[in-house]
């Protein structure tokens, strides 16, 4: 599988995880763990998941809220739109 396809699948898994949480902010580590479960067949590295989260943040597909326990992520309207366009 090429790198672009891996990146796409990781990004989609991260966003789907956030979508499953509805409008509730979720600790970043929990999002990462759930995405890893979804991507068990792919076995993404920590670096790939970090890159996916950075891309999501940079494109404002999720908003990040700093908290004492770490960042909390919440899907934005742009993230919902991206998921609708990339089933």
The tens digit of pLDDT for each residue in 38-76 reads 999 999 999 999 999 999 999 999 999 999 999 999 999
Give the predicted TM-score (pTM) of the model.
0.94
Fold adopted by 3-85: Arc Repressor Mutant, subunit A (1.10.10)
Angle (nearest 5°) at CA 7 between 1 and 36? 95
**By the 8 A CB rule, do 10 and 70 touch?**
no
Domain ranges of the chain: 3-85
pLDDT at 81 > cutoff 90: yes
């Amino acid at each position: 599988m090429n790198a672009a396809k891996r990146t796409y699948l990781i990004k989609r898994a991260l966003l789907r995880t956030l979508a499953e949480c509805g409008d509730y902010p979720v600790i970043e580590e929990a999002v990462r763990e759930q995405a890893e479960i979804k991507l068990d067949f792919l076995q993404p590295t920590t670096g790939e998941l970090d890159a996916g989260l950075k891309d999501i943040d940079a494109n404002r597909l999720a908003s990040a809220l700093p908290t004492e326990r770490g960042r909390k992520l919440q899907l934005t309207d742009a993230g919902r739109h991206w998921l609708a366009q990339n089933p």
